[in-house]
Amino acid sequence: MTLQAIKYENGTLEVLDQLLLPKESKYIPILGVEDGWKVINKMQVRGAPAIAIVGCLSLAVEISKEEFEKKKALRREVEGKLNYLISARPTAVNMKQAADHLISYINSLDNDESVSAQEMQARFVAAIEAMLEKDISDNRSIGEFGAKAILNNVTDGEQVRVLTHCNTGSLATAYFGTALGVVRCLHSASRLENCYFTETRPYNQGARLTAYELVHDKIPSTLVCDSTVAYLMKTAQINAVVVGADRVAANGDTANKIGTYQIAVVAKHHEVPFYVAAPLTSIDFNVNTGDNIVIEERPQVEMTHINNIRIASPGVTCWNPAFDVTPARLITGIITEKGVFRPSELSTLQSQLQDHKNSLPQL
C-alpha cells in the first residue's frame, strides 16, 4: 500500500512529520491555519501539491468549527487566511493558484443573495475537500502519461532505468505522486529495471523521503550522491530523467528543487530525455519566464548542521537557495494530467487550464 502523508476525515486533519523520517513516523494534528502555516514553513510538509492541499485543508478545519452570522465576515476571514498561507513558502505556485481560485469562489457565494452564511460555509468546505480527491486522480493520470512517454523511446518489452531528484511521491502530494508516480506506473507495468535517485542536499529529501517511499513499496532503486549524476549517466545508460516542479513559467522554464538545473544540463550532454511531471496547477501563465520566479532562500543552518550537529566550520558564509530554474530548452516534455507537452506547446494549455478550473463544480 502506498504511503499516506495526509490524513483527512470528518473535519480532522493530520500530516506526517517529514522532518522525522525515516527514523520515526509521527502524525501532527492540524487544528487550524496557524498549524498549517507552521508545518509548511518548517518543511514538515513539503512538495508543491501537498503544500496547497494541507494549507487549504487547514483552513477548512478552522472555519468548520466556527459560526458565521454574516457572509462578509466569512469572506474576509477566508481571504486573509489564504493570503497568509501563501507566505509560508512563496516559490511553490500551487498554494497561490488554489488561494486565488478559492477567493474567487467565496466572493461569488458572497454576492449570491440566495446563499445563506451557513450554506456558504458548507459549500466552501466541500470545495476544499474536493481538491484532495482531484489531486489523487490527477497524480495517477500524470503517472500513466509519463510512463507511456518514457516507454515510447525504448523497444517493446525493454525495461528502463530512470533518474529522479528530491521527493515527488505520496509525501509531496495528496497521494501517489507526480514524478514518483511515473516511477510507480513503470514498476506496476513490470518495465522498471531500476530507479536511481539523488540524496538531494542539503535537506536530503531523496535520502530520507524518496528512499523511504521506494523501500516501502519494494521498488528497485539505488541512492546516489548529488555529485554522482554525470558519472551515472555516462556509465549506467539512463533512459530518462523525471523530476517534479514547484512552478512552471509560461515559456516552460521550471523552478524545482535546487540541483535540478545541473541534472538537466548533464542530461542534455548525454542525450537523456528530461521530463518535468507536474499538475496543471503548477503552471503559472502570469509568469512569462523563469527569470521572474521568486526563489526562496532557506536558513544557513540547514547547510551547516545535520540533526543539530554542526558539520561546517563556525563562521563560514552560506548561500542556500531552495530552488533553481531549469531553462525550457533543456526540457523534453512536461507531463500533466492532460498529457505530455513540449515547453513550446504550453500556450495551448491555457484554455485547458481554464477548463480545469471550471471542472470543479464547487469552486
254 closest CA partner among 277, 273, 233, 270: 277
Query: Strands 160-164 and 339-341, how do they pair?
Result: unpaired
Q: Which residues pair with 29 in a beta bridge?
A: 14
Q: Is 246 a catalytic residue?
A: yes
User: Cβ contacts of residue 227 below 8 Å, gap of 6+?
Assistant: none
What is 39-96 written as a DSSP string? Answer: HHHTTSS-SHHHHHHHHHHHHHHHHHT---SSHHHHHHHHHHHHHHHHTTSSS-HHHH
- Name the residue with cell 483552513: 59
- Name the residue with cell 504550453: 346
Q: How far apart are CA 167 and CA 178, in angstroms?
A: 9
Half-sphere exposure (CA, 13 Å, Cβ side) for 109? 29
Q: How far apart are CA 195 and CA 241, in angstroms?
A: 10
State how far the alpha carbon of 108 is from the alpha carbons of 76, 102, 112, in Å.
Answer: 13, 10, 6
21 closest CA partner among 215, 208, 204, 211: 208
H/E run at residue 283: strand 283-284
8-state DSSP, 145:
H
**Percent helix, strand and coil across the chain, each rounded to 5?**
45, 15, 35
Buried b (16+ CB within 10 A) or exposed e, 213-246: bbeebebebebbebeebeebbeeeebbbbbbbbb
Q: Which of 135, 138, 246, 253 is catalytic?
A: 246
Enzyme catalytic residues: 246
